[in-house]
């Protein structure tokens, strides 16, 4: 399967993100909301997946603010 912007439609990109993240509308209040939003530029055809993931990793390594998992409780 191709993931490049030039080789996918918006609908295909939405499906790729949804399948990759799993059930983002689960009963956990907003667990993956930040992650889903992170990939919106890919869905909209503005950035490649590779670029988004590289930016995420760079901020993680630097310790900058990242999408949080607030609202989730691991019990």
Q: Whole-prediction pTM value?
A: 0.65
Residue 67 within any structural domain of the chain: no
Q: How many CB atoms lie within 10 A of CB 39?
A: 21
Q: How far is the CA of 67 from the CAs of 2, 4, 8, 45, 59, in angstroms?
A: 26, 24, 26, 21, 11
Encoding tokens for residue 24?
A: 């983002």
Q: 28-57: per-residue pLDDT in tens?
A: 555 556 777 889 999 999 999 999 999 988
Residue 71 within any structural domain of the chain: no
Helix (H, G, I), strand (E, B) or coil at 32: coil
Residue 70 within any structural domain of the chain: no
Instruction: Band the pLDDT of 27: cuts 50, 70, 90.
Output: very low
Domain range for 53 is 5-62
Q: How many domains does the chain have?
A: 1
């Amino acid at each position: 399967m191709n993931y490049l912007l030039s080789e996918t439609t918006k609908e295909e990109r939405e499906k790729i993100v949804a399948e990759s993240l799993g059930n983002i509308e689960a009963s956990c209040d907003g667990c993956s909301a930040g992650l889903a939003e992170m990939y919106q530029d890919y869905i909209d055809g503005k950035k490649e997946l590779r670029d988004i993931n590289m930016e995420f990793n760079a901020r993680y390594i630097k310790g900058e603010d990242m999408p949080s998992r607030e609202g989730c409780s691991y019990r």
